[in-house]
Amino acid sequence: MINFRDTLAKYKHLTLMGINNALSARLAEQAGFQALWSSSLEVSASHGVPDASFLGMNQFVEAAHQAQTAVDIPILADCDSGYGDSMNVAYMVRSYEDAGITAVCMEDNLFPKVNSLLDQRRTILGADEFVQKIVAAKSAQREDSFFVMARTESFIAGESVDELLARAEAYREAGADALLFHAKAPHTEKLREALTCWGRKLPVAVVPTAYPRYSAPHLQEAGADIVIFANQGMRAAVRAMQDVFATLSKHGSLLDVEEQIAPVSDIFECQDLTEWRRLADGTPA
């Protein structure tokens, strides 16, 4: 398995798919993605709880670990605000390293987390305090290749382009390997301005959930190096299950949904059943 840092260096631009378990990770890999995003929103939803720091760090680490064992492409783990203070951040980095994860992303949000897609006012950490978290993360890593992305919620909190850029520069100087400029409508023009002004001094990721009319190539042309489709897989699965479950509940006939669902053979393929049978038989690869 190649690590996240080397994958970014190889492709220059990456589009990541959001996942929450081994099955979704394998499906995303089969679709052709070169790297994945272990989404805190998706993992939280898979447990039936809000994306509001309800789950503990170990639950997120385990979800990322299970996904990573199923694929040969790297995972960037969404670590919210780092699960505590700078000491907790150091422990978080060691925990993800031990789980085989080669990249993490943490944000300058306060605890408990407020999901950025909610229409709710929020304040964020001061730049100096978040800088210390970045320093702790980089100090804690044992592998030189380990990758730390610093996400700023500056625009979500109502700050200006200049304020975001000041944070970005401070986070770069603290040792972050990449940045994530988070935004939602109506701040997309501010995002474009920030990307232009930043000038690729350090790789920048964006998450276009709230501005879907901008494609990955469009955003990369505007200055983004990494585009993250953070939760579309889970949302697609929810819609599909809602439709199938409703049909079965109403009509009670499997014939009504056969055309909407995957054949069992697809599930066997996702389980890598052929390979496990080969290993059991002792057949050479």
Q: Is 51 assigned a catalytic role?
A: yes
Retrieve residue 84's tokens: 């505590």
Query: How many residues can be counted in the chain?
Result: 285
Of 51, 78, 80, 225, the catalytic one is 51
Reduced 3-state DSSP string for the chain: CCCHHHHHHHHCCEEEEEECCHHHHHHHHHHCCCEEEECHHHHHHHCCCCCCCCCCHHHHHHHHHHHHHCCCCCEEEECCCCCCCHHHHHHHHHHHHHCCCCEEEEECECCCCCCCCCCCCCCECCHHHHHHHHHHHHHHCCCCCCEEEEEECCCCCCCCHHHHHHHHHHHHHCCCCEEEECCCCCCHHHHHHHHHHHCCCCCEEECHHHCCCCCHHHHHHHCCCEEEECCHHHHHHHHHHHHHHHHHHHHCCHHHCCCCCCCHHHHHHHCCHHHHHHHHHCCCC
What angle is formed at CA 239 by the lines to CA 42 and CA 214, rounded to 5 degrees? 70
Catalytic positions, please? Answer: 51
